[in-house]
Structure 1
Amino acid sequence: MLDLLKKFLNKKQKDQQLSERDLNGRKHVGYPTLQLSREIDNLVKTKYKSIKPIVKMYKETLFFKWGPSVINNTLTDEQLAKLSGRNVQMVYLLLFRDMLRHIAAVIKIRYADEDWSEQFAQQVLDACKMLSDTDDKDIVKKQQLFANTELFTVDTPIDDQNPENTEIPVWAEPIAELIMLPPDMIYKCHRPLMTVILKKLKKNKKK
């Protein structure tokens, strides 16, 4: 299942040419990710053009590179078949919203309300109808996670040479559970991006 989204979403490739794993990836990861990405792009285009480069960097790296790669390399065929596309969307949105919360403390968006990061995330949630499925067994858990106002800590350095030395923040665990991943995978996707983005924003602010 190499290059997950490109392979899953290649319309020229007939379903018969895809393995069952690839088809599950298309259904449970590819299509839900595209829907989420489109709704984010629509909002950026109409209301948040000033943060387009930041959104593009975060979204393209997490949604279309690291996220699919981690899911592909970690989940078994059985787990991928059971993976909820709504849960994938929620995990991405929670991390994306945290990114917005972090940058909202550094930059101001012209004509936007102070809680613009919350409004942005809420509008995406509503547009994707993430909490509307009556048969969703994880809906209460996702409602609680989305209601959380905590700013995720991203200060703990990652020691790739000695993984046991990296203390994974508690916020990562319930998010990771939604898509059957170890918490450290979520943290190791989110923290590096936040480090780069915040460093760049703070540097530009000093100019």
Structure 2
Amino acid sequence: MIGGRNSSFGRFRRPPDLTAAELGTTLAFAAAGRRYPADVKRQGGGPELTRLWVFANHVDGLPGGSYAYCERRHALLPAGPEPDGGMAAFLQQQYFLTNYTMGQVGAVLAISGRPDAVLDVFGPRGYRILNAEVGTVAQRAYCAASAQDLGCGAVLGFDNVAMNTALGLDGTDERTVLFLLLGRHPQTSADVTYRL
């Protein structure tokens, strides 16, 4: 549906590939959600709660691989090369469910968080604070995708340990929390007429 916000549950198609401009717009809009209004201030050494990452699969002009999104520079910083066998095969191998074919997805956005640091600073309330920011970032990604007539789908079915390793997060206090699939989706959907 053009202009309507919806989940692309199980529905992605290519070609054409995702453009770098579409990916960049989605990342910039989503990252702005990291500054949502709240009574929590990150001044005085408080932890950054989240960060955005990209597994580039089929993005025009962008080599396959994993990247960290630098909001300040509006740039993608290489985090890891394209895995042997290609990004689509790696993503499919790390995805436990069967409702998506990763070969059709343009990019996978990963939202990472620092749960231990958040708990150290805010106590048990830290879980709610972290989840609020992750949710805000995800909702803004959905809105940016919809505005560009792209498909977006949040998923939890990835092997987080393998995805963290691919992003170079091993040995840090940061880990992936939520994944968003981004790409083209069909403009039409099937319907059933069941008059008796």
The structure showing larger relative contact order (alpha-carbon pairs under 8 Å, at least 6 residues apart) is 2
Per the TM superposition, whether the score is higher than 0.5 is no
Q: Which structure shows the bigger proportion of residues in strand conformation?
A: 2
Q: Which structure shows the bigger proportion of residues in helix conformation?
A: 1
TM-score (norm 1): 0.39
TM-score (norm 2): 0.40
